[in-house]
Structure formats: structure tokens, C-alpha cells
Amino acid sequence: MLRYILTIFLLSPVTALSAEPSSQLWAYLSGADVVSASEIFEQASRERPKEQIVDFEVELENEQLSFEVSLYNSTTKQITELSYDDAGVLVGTEFELDEWRGGDQLLAIKTLLSHPKSIDELISDLSNNRPGELIAANIGSNLSIPFLWVTLLTVEGKQSYAIDLKSNTAIPILQM
């Protein structure tokens, strides 16, 4: 079990989060004029209703807060990344082909697409009754287990939670 936990922790896309201090990111996210993650989810879903959100990250670079949402189009089998600024304005669109071609990522996408709940419902379930702001929601697969990994940011730091997308059971992970 420890090997499983360490493998997911080390290979998860969440480990690629920016290395900025959590307190600086918290200060930006808790600002009065910043849109929430749920507002970005709703906006991306409205703008691309036929696509499924498969990845979400909040980034802080050069004191600029941005939200990145990756969506999967099952017709074209293409991933599109939308970038929004802290006011919720779309500032960029990029196609991600190579990053999602691996079998593990495709397994996670297929499992998510067939799941009875949407990614935002799964995130809500994982973060229910837990304090913090959503800073990442990533799907992946390791050892043929598709999972959703959610990271919340609080004043104290980052807290991560994961769920097996096939069995809908929590996956124990190491906290950062």
C-alpha cells in the first residue's frame, strides 16, 4: 500500500504545481476582486458545452494570477486549454496534443467521461466540508487506477485529496 501511495504522490500531475509560496497565492485568491474556481468552471462549461473539463490549475507567475482549464472534446479527441485572468476574462487558448496522448491519461479521461458525475460534482464531493480554495484538480491514472486529485489551499498550506474514479473510494495520499 505504501508503494501505491508513494507512486501516486510522485507521479501525479499535481506535483507540477508552481513553487510559489502558498501564503502569496492565498493572498491573491482571497482578494475581493478575484473570481472563484467554480465561476471559472461554469464559464468554461458555458463557452464549450460539448467538452468535458479534465484538468484545472491556478497559477501565480510574475504576480499575475491565472486559471487554466483543460477540456476534452470526445468528437475530435482533442484537449483545449483555456487561460483566464483573475477577473475571469479569457486570455488564451491552446491545443494540447502530446501531453494527453499517453495511455494512462486516456484511461483517466475515458473513465471520467463514463462516470455518472461531472468533474465539478466530484470535486465538490472531495472538498465538501473542507476549508480552502481550489487550486488544482487533475485526473490521471497509475497502476491502471484512474483517479481525480484535488488540491485545496488554506492559510495553513496545501491539502490534497484523491478519489479512485472506478470505485468512487478515497485514495490515501501523503500530504505536502
Across residues 54-70, what is the average pLDDT?
Answer: 89
Residue 88 makes CB contacts below 8 A (sequence gap 6+) with 35, 39, 40, 43, 67
For 64-96, how does the pLDDT look when each residue is reduced to its tens digit (9 = 90+)? 889 999 999 888 888 999 999 989 999 999 987
SS3 for 75?
coil
The answer on pLDDT for 9 being more than 50 is no
Contact 53, 120 (CB under 8 A): yes
What are the distances in angstroms from CA 73 to CA 45, 49, 53, 131, 176?
A: 12, 10, 9, 32, 33
The pairs formed by 54-57 with CB atoms below 8 angstroms and a separation of 24 or more are 54/79, 54/100, 54/108, 54/109, 54/112, 54/119, 54/139, 55/13, 55/81, 55/137, 55/138, 55/139, 56/119, 56/134, 56/136, 56/137, 56/138, 57/17, 57/135, 57/136, 57/137, 57/138
The answer on pLDDT for 20 being more than 80 is no
Phi, psi of 41 (to 5 degrees): -60, -50
Contact 147, 139 (CB under 8 A): yes
**Residue where the block lists cell 491514472:** 141
Element (H, E) at 6: helix 2-11
Contact 100, 120 (CB under 8 A): no
pLDDT band per the 50, 70, 90 thresholds, residue 97: low
Rounded to whole angstroms, how far apart are CA atoms 115 and 122? 10
pLDDT-above-90 percentage for the chain: 28
For 125-139, how does the pLDDT look when each residue is reduced to its tens digit (9 = 90+)? 888 878 888 899 998
